[in-house]
């Protein structure tokens, strides 16, 4: 019989019983309902959990309290003092997932490890948003039976209906390492193909008497930096120190959330990890790190990449307004950008540049259905100073057809009126327009349709995707167009308690054409992932391209292979990836097929609970099949060390050497972050270049930022 647990709490009945200290005392939690996290869902498939885990939940007028008792497995517990959100890697933790609308539209999860370090994430259907940050606290400690932990979550950190009676859907999760195998337990079964994880939970938390408080927050910040660079004479010149003041804030009224930022400092404190682009003909995408864009990202998610918030580069201001209603939700963003990045997509090639001022608008509407299903509409517009604009309309949806079948779709139409600028001056283009910014007007479209089937052992997927030759996304990330792709894939999963803990076999077939009906690629792939009943995990992949066309050059019967090996113990994590085979040398006058090899190695070593070291090297080479000479060969290597003073502060040193460019940088960073928005940074970056065998300082920067959250909730 399906287990449905209902909890009824009347206002003031249990207010003030919980002392938040990370100790789950029986007397404190005696009047709360107790739950068991009973099912192993990874790598097992809803099998009985090997170790016992108890979860508790209650509240007072201001906070939701969650307690955990995690029994057993003491010799394998992995827990380090980590900064916010760093516990999701190589750490044990316990977690609560909350769906305040109980309809599967999204899940907010709060996690804590045995050392009291915390993390939070938001899941929209199957999309995780790791950048999500809100106010909450966690604490924990080891016990003679394992460990216990507590979470305290302010109601102001959660969006929920403004009604007297609340009914939230929840789940409880425990991540652990059993014989060094990453394992997850869940409070309910997780059936493949039956919808999102929270959709399948049979636990509801019902209560009344808690009045929703509106958010009222101000977030001022000050930044200062001093920059030095080598001038034309070879001397290092340091610019005068520069400082700026910014102001942000959040105000909520009747479920409408207004966020604003004036003169924001959107410069990055930590450098993006360098990517090897020596053989790339398209723009590279980097992760969004800026706090302002955290809340509401689930409105903007798109497989067609219709929104890429890093395209809003250096705004004078930005305003965000959103509301999550019972069935209807909306999101609106307005920003004035000082310096505007633009990507002009083409056929297997893109062109990038930086323009001047622009104005950006995004509007999204979402109709929420049960079990995470939805229908949505989105439009974006960017207008450029001096003329020109990019307008886009799109719609997407996700539908569960029955217990194992689901379908999703997305369609988009773009309207482009190009600005006039000489920053992109290529003569290349389509039959209808050039890629240069010469004031042309045109429209394009993109689309995607997916049909899936998933069961315990079998899964298969059909997907069609396309972007027409005139499709652009000025506020998104489209670096190629003029293609349409059909793909069919399937997989088989095997689970066991023997030598192999989990085995997944998969295969796929893809055919890709352009709008002139030329076959751009025809590929068949087979692969497998094996989790052993020990610290090793291996992935294998083999691809054959019966045909591949790059521009006007056609290559037949090419082969690619890849092997990944992961090794993980409480102190050491090591990953090596080696892929080799045929590849096209793209950035030469006449593209040519060559022999490639890419090797990457990544390692982390925990010296202590607070000090860890990391090393990474990525090597890439491509040799001519005819002469054996290198088209290119090089590597990027980095070393990192982090000392975590507490879960709120750390100091980090990063050194990276780029053999392709023959340059390097050294970065030192101190960070203190006691809550989601209060942050203090102090750091410096020093760049050097190898000039004829002599290392020369090219530039340096010293910077500071202090941002403080004033909470008037």
The residue ranges of every structural domain in the chain are 33-208
Q: Report the chain's mean pLDDT, rounded to a whole number.
A: 91
Contact 388/471 with Cβ under 8 angstroms? no
Is pLDDT above 50 for 14? no
Is pLDDT above 60 for 9? no
Contact 510/485 with Cβ under 8 angstroms? yes
Tell me the sheet residues that pair with 195. none
Residue 479 tokens, joined: 């670096």
**Per-residue confidence at 677, pLDDT binned at 50, 70, 90?**
confident
User: Which residue's entry shows tokens 């939690």?
Assistant: 29
Q: Quick one: pLDDT at residue 12?
A: 38
Topology of domain 33-208 in CATH is Immunoglobulin-like (2.60.40)
When pLDDT is averaged across residues 295-315 and rounded to a whole number, the result is 89
Alpha-carbon distance 353 to 347, whole Å? 18
Q: Quick one: pLDDT at residue 427?
A: 85
Cα atoms found within 13 Å of the Cα of residue 533, Cβ hemisphere only: 8
Q: Quick one: pLDDT at residue 301?
A: 86
When pLDDT is averaged across residues 555-575 and rounded to a whole number, the result is 94
The pLDDT tens digits of the residues spanning 363-382 come to 999 998 888 889 999 999 99
Is pLDDT above 80 for 692? no
Alpha-carbon distance 217 to 712, whole Å? 6
Contact 392/475 with Cβ under 8 angstroms? yes
Q: What percentage of the chain has pLDDT greater than the value 90?
A: 71
The pLDDT tens digits of the residues spanning 323-345 come to 988 789 999 999 999 999 999 99
The pLDDT tens digits of the residues spanning 536-562 come to 999 999 999 999 999 889 999 999 999
How far the first Cα of the chain sits from its last, in Å, is: 43
When pLDDT is averaged across residues 144-164 and rounded to a whole number, the result is 93
Whether the ω angle into residue 47 lies within 30 degrees of 0, i.e. cis, is no
Closest CA to 153 of 110, 214, 102: 110
When pLDDT is averaged across residues 401-415 and rounded to a whole number, the result is 93
Residue 552 tokens, joined: 């006007």
Is pLDDT above 80 for 441? yes
Q: Quick one: pLDDT at residue 125?
A: 63
The pLDDT tens digits of the residues spanning 190-246 come to 998 887 899 899 999 999 988 888 889 999 999 999 989 887 777 888 888 889 999
Q: Quick one: pLDDT at residue 150?
A: 97
DSSP state, 402? Answer: S
Q: Which helix (H) or strand (E) covers residue 198, if one does?
A: helix 197-200
Contacts of 301 (CB under 8 A, 6+ apart): 124, 127
The pLDDT tens digits of the residues spanning 414-436 come to 999 999 999 988 888 888 889 99
Alpha-carbon distance 517 to 266, whole Å? 43
Q: Quick one: pLDDT at residue 652?
A: 96
Q: Would you state the torsion angle of the CA atoms of residues 307, 310, 311, 317, taken in this order, to the nearest 10 degrees? A: 110
Alpha-carbon distance 655 to 508, whole Å? 39
Contacts of 596 (CB under 8 A, 6+ apart): 580, 581, 582, 583, 620, 621, 622, 623
**Per-residue confidence at 127, pLDDT binned at 50, 70, 90?**
low
Task: Please calculate the CA angle 38-39-43 and round it to the nearest 5 degrees.
Answer: 145
Q: Which helix (H) or strand (E) covers residue 375, if one does?
A: strand 374-384
Residue count (the chain): 713
Q: Quick one: pLDDT at residue 273?
A: 64
Q: Quick one: pLDDT at residue 6?
A: 42
Residue 600 tokens, joined: 């990457």
- Mean pLDDT is lowest, of 136-145, 192-201, 284-293, 391-400, for 284-293
Contacts of 686 (CB under 8 A, 6+ apart): 665, 666, 667, 697, 699, 700
Contact 292/259 with Cβ under 8 angstroms? yes
Q: Would you state the torsion angle of the CA atoms of residues 616, 618, 619, 625, taken in this order, to the nearest 10 degrees? A: 150
In the three-class reduction of DSSP (H, G, I as helix; E, B as strand; rest coil), residue 676 is classed as coil
When pLDDT is averaged across residues 637-650 and rounded to a whole number, the result is 96
Task: Please calculate the CA angle 674-677-681 and round it to the nearest 5 degrees.
Answer: 70
**Per-residue confidence at 33, pLDDT binned at 50, 70, 90?**
confident
Q: Please state whether the predicted TM-score (pTM) of the whole model is above 0.95.
A: no
Alpha-carbon distance 486 to 488, whole Å? 7
Is pLDDT above 90 for 528? yes
**Per-residue confidence at 8, pLDDT binned at 50, 70, 90?**
very low
* Phi and psi, residue 587, nearest 5°: -95, 45
DSSP state, 284? Answer: P
93 against 243, higher pLDDT: 93
When pLDDT is averaged across residues 236-258 and rounded to a whole number, the result is 88
DSSP 48-101: EPSS-EEEEEEE-SSEEEEEEEEES-GGG-------TTGGGSS--EEEEEEETT
- Mean pLDDT is lowest, of 156-160, 182-186, 259-263, 577-581, for 156-160
């Amino acid at each position: 019989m399906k287990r449905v647990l209902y909890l009824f709490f009347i206002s003031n009945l249990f207010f003030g019983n919980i002392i938040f200290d990370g100790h789950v005392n029986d007397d404190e939690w005696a009047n709360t309902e107790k739950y068991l996290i009973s099912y192993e869902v990874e790598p097992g498939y809803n099998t009985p959990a090997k170790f016992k885990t108890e979860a508790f939940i209650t509240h007072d007028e201001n906070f939701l309290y969650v307690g955990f008792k995690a029994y057993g497995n003491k010799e394998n517990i992995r827990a380090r003092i980590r900064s916010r959100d760093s516990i999701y890697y190589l750490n044990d933790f316990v977690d609560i997932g909350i769906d305040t609308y109980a309809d599967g539209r999204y899940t907010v999860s709060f996690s804590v490890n045995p050392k009291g370090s915390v993390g939070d994430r938001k899941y929209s259907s199957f999309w995780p948003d790791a950048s999500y940050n809100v106010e909450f606290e966690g604490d924990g400690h080891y016990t003679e039976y394992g460990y216990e932990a507590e979470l305290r979550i302010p109601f102001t950190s959660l969006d929920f209906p403004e009604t007297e009676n609340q009914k939230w859907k929840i789940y409880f999760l425990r991540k652990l390492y059993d014989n060094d195998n990453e394992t997850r337990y869940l409070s309910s079964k997780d059936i493949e193909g039956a919808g999102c994880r929270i959709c399948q939970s049979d636990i509801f938390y019902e209560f009344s008497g808690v009045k929703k408080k509106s958010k009222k927050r101000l977030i001022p910040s000050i930044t200062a930096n001093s920059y030095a660079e080598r001038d034309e004479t070879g001397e290092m010149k340091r610019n005068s120190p520069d400082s700026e003041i910014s102001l942000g804030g959040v105000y909520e009224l009747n479920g409408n959330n207004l966020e604003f930022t004036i003169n924001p400092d959107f410069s990055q404190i930590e450098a993006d990890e360098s990517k090897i682009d020596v053989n790339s003909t398209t723009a590279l995408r980097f992760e969004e790190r800026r706090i302002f864009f955290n809340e509401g990202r689930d409105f903007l998610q798109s497989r067609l990449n219709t929104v890429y918030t890093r395209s809003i580069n250096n705004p004078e201001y930005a305003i965000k307004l959103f509301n999550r209603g019972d069935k209807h939700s909306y999101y609106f963003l307005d920003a004035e950008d000082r310096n505007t990045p633009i990507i002009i997509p083409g056929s297997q090639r893109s062109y990038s540049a930086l323009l001047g001022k622009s104005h950006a608008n995004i509007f999204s509407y979402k109709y929420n259905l049960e079990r995470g299903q939805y229908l949505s509409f989105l439009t974006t517009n960017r207008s450029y100073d001096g003329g020109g604009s990019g307008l886009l309309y799109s719609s997407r949806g996700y539908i569960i057809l029955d217990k194992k079948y689901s379908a999703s779709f997305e369609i988009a139409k773009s309207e482009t009126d190009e600005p006039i600028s000489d920053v992109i001056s290529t003569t290349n283009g389509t039959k209808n327009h050039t890629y240069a910014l010469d004031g042309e007007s045109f429209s394009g479209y993109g689309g995607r349709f997916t049909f899936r089937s998933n069961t315990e052992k079998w899964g298969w997927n059909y997907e069609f995707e396309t972007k027409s030759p005139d499709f652009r996304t000025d506020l998104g990330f489209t670096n190629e167009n003029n293609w349409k792709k059909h793909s069919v894939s399937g997989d088989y999963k095997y689970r066991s308690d023997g030598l192999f803990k989990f085995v997944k076999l998969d295969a796929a077939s893809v055919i890709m054409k352009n709008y002139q009906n030329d076959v751009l690629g025809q590929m068949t792939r087979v692969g497998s992932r094996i989790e052993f009943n020990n610290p090793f995990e291996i992935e294998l992949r083999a691809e054959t391209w019966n045909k591949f066309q790059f521009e006007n050059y056609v290559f037949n019967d090419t082969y690619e292979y890849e092997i990944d090996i992961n090794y993980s113990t409480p102190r050491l994590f090591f990953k090596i990836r080696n892929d080799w085979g045929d590849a096209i040398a793209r950035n030469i006058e006449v593209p040519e097929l060559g022999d490639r090899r890419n090797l990457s190695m990544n390692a982390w070593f925990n010296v202590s609970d607070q000090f860890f070291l990391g090393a990474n090297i990525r090597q890439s080479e491509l040799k001519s099949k005819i002469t054996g000479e290198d088209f290119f060969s090089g590597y990027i290597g980095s070393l990192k060390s982090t000392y975590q003073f507490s879960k709120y502060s750390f100091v980090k040193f990063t050194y990276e050497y780029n053999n392709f460019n023959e340059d390097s940088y050294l970065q030192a960073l101190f960070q203190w972050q006691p809550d989601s928005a209060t942050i203090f940074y102090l750091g410096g970056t020093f760049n050097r270049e190898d000039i004829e065998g002599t290392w020369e300082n090219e530039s340096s920067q010293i910077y500071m930022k202090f941002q403080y959250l004033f909470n008037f909730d």
